[in-house]
Amino acid sequence: MAYSKQLEQLKSFYADMHSNDFSAIDTLYHPNIVFKDAVQEVHGREPLKAYFTHGLGNAEQCLFHFEQVSQINNNAFLVWEMHLKHPSIGGGKEIIVPGASWVQFDADTSLITLHRDFCDLGAMVYEHLPVIGFLVRKVRRHLEHA
């Protein structure tokens, strides 16, 4: 794989996200990175660092386990499971969220220019909120048996 070194660095960075050391963003991501997940779209390295710092500032744990990595030309697809413990979500209990990422590398610099995450925001957040969680779980069960 042409970008195997970068993919290993990316996996290592996401293996333990709650450490709050986001300096590796400078060696992984292009200065004009576009990062989009289920919550927000961020443009640039410094805004990405701020986004992670804000979102994970109180996290007790945020670990990614990678199950599959595929690469085609300058595109890579990573299938993962996020293990999150955050006092504001689910009473601080561990939440496991499956997801996938699509990353694109710049051919000249080998830095990531696009990072797009796909995951079930309901499983991550909504199902663990007091009133909304009850409703989301009820709708989900109804759809499963429809």
Residue-range domain boundaries for the chain: 4-120
Q: Which long-range contacts (CB under 8 A, 24 or more apart) does 40-48 make?
A: 48/22
Percent of the chain at pLDDT exceeding 70: 81
For the four alpha carbons of 130, 61, 104 and 2, in that order, the dihedral sign comes to: negative
- Per-residue pLDDT for 126 more than 60? no
Fold of the CATH domain 4-120: Nuclear Transport Factor 2; Chain: A, (3.10.450)
| Digit-coded pLDDT (tens) for 45-58 | 999 999 999 888 88
- Per-residue pLDDT for 129 more than 70? no
Query: How confident is the model at residue 139, as a pLDDT?
Result: 65
